Structure 1
Amino acid sequence: MRITMILLLLACSFIGYGQSDSLHNHRAKANTDTIPPYLRIPYLPTFSIQTPDSSWFSKSQLQENKPVLLLYFSPDCGHCMIETEEMIGKMNSLKNLQIVMATSREFDEMKKFADHYKLERFRNVRIGRDAQRTITRFYRVKFTPFSALYDKKGNFLKAYEKGIDWEELLRLVK
């Protein structure tokens, strides 16, 4: 009888150990799933956006050794409009920064936004539609505007989830 009880206790402890191990693995996987990819992969993601002239612009077309600001926006977002106006007002200080503005909204909405702000006049700004939602998924964008800043080597510096702190951004890209 004692031997049966001991064997039963040992069996239960092995079962409990196996369950706790699989629970630990499940929790570890859940933790990595909650971390946005841009925090796990600290490099500018591969992307392709359709520009207002219907051509395509991708990461491979960015100039080397220049910092990049990726700005995800919605054409009808009031905060996005304000941020775009602030960006335009600071454009003299942003000349050495490559700015990629992307939206997942309809092409016509993106084009109207670009035309309204006359963004084609800025050589360092590329705007387009992220039809595949690559950027949205990589950054897990919850609100617009969302921006991510990368240094001249393509390394992640800072995300701005609630609007850009322009003074800080200018210090970071000097």
Structure 2
Amino acid sequence: MKSIFTFLCITFACIFSQAQSATVEIPAHLPEFQLIKIKGEGIFDSKDIAKNKKTLLGYVSPECIHCLLSLELINHNMELLKDVNIIFVTEYDQSEFEAKVKPIAPKLFEAKNVEILRDSEYEMPEKLKLTTLPTYFLFDKKGTTETMKRGSIEVVQIFNHLK
């Protein structure tokens, strides 16, 4: 009986240690996409992203408190991000997104370097290999992934890559 219990303990320990040591897969480059504009009208194509600038892409939800906190933090730090392409992607429609986000992050709707897009077909979670919200990616000037951060507080770590 002791040997069965020991065997089970070792088996579970191996399984859990492998699960914790597994690396998180993230895209190496900014994926191609075409999404509906929430801020403005029409379709935004990834080819429309201004060249020779870093790009911050965030997948967020207006129903997620951590997303709202991260958007508020970004709103308060827009001066640091003035030379960065900023793209927010959500699955929510314009009225739902604006109703929750505009009161806490109005600068995101005013800034010329910010695009807010709707992923109505839910294609971006697969392309970005998302596992949680919010998730932010910082891509360098060539579209290569520089860093990825998840969560409301972790987003401030992206600012270190902009100096």
How does the TM-score come out when normalised to structure 1?
0.70
Separation in 2 of the partners of 1:83 and 1:132?
24
Q: Residue 50 of structure 2 aligns with which residue?
A: 63
Amino acid at match of 1:82: L
Indicate the larger mover: 163-172 or 55-64. Answer: 163-172
Q: 1:172 to 1:56 in 2, by over 3 A?
A: same
CA contact (8 A) 2:36 2:117 kept: yes
Q: Residue 103 of structure 1 aligns with which residue?
A: 90
Q: Residue 99 of structure 2 aligns with which residue?
A: 112
Q: Residue 75 of structure 1 aligns with which residue?
A: 62
Please give the root-mean-square deviation of Cα atoms over the aligned residues, in Å.
Answer: 2.2
Deviations 1:74-97 (A, max 9, x none): 111111111111101000111011
Indicate the larger mover: 75-84 or 158-167. Answer: 158-167
The answer as to 2:79 corresponding to 1:92 is: yes
Q: 1:51, CA displacement in angstroms?
A: 1.4
Separation in 1 of the partners of 2:41 and 2:101?
13
The answer as to 2:159 corresponding to 1:170 is: yes
Indicate the larger mover: 108-117 or 129-138. Answer: 108-117
For residue 47 of structure 1, the aligned residue among 33, 38, 60 is: 33
For structure 1, list consecutive stretches of 5 or more residues without a partner in the other structure: 1-33
Separation in 1 of the partners of 2:24 and 2:132?
16
Q: Number of residue pairs matched?
A: 138
For structure 2, list consecutive stretches of 5 or more residues without a partner in the other structure: 1-22
Identity %: 26
Larger Rg: 1
Give 1 or 2: higher helix fraction: 1
CA contact (8 A) 2:60 2:90 kept: yes
Q: 1:115, CA displacement in angstroms?
A: 4.1
SS at match of 1:127: strand
Indicate the larger mover: 161-170 or 96-105. Answer: 161-170
Deviations 1:39-81 (A, max 9, x none): xxx1100112211234111211111010001100011111111
Separation in 2 of the partners of 1:101 and 1:149?
12
Q: 1:113 to 1:82 in 2, by over 3 A?
A: same
Q: Residue 140 of structure 1 aligns with which residue?
A: 129
CA contact (8 A) 1:114 1:127 kept: no
Higher relative contact order (CA 8 A, sep 6+): 2
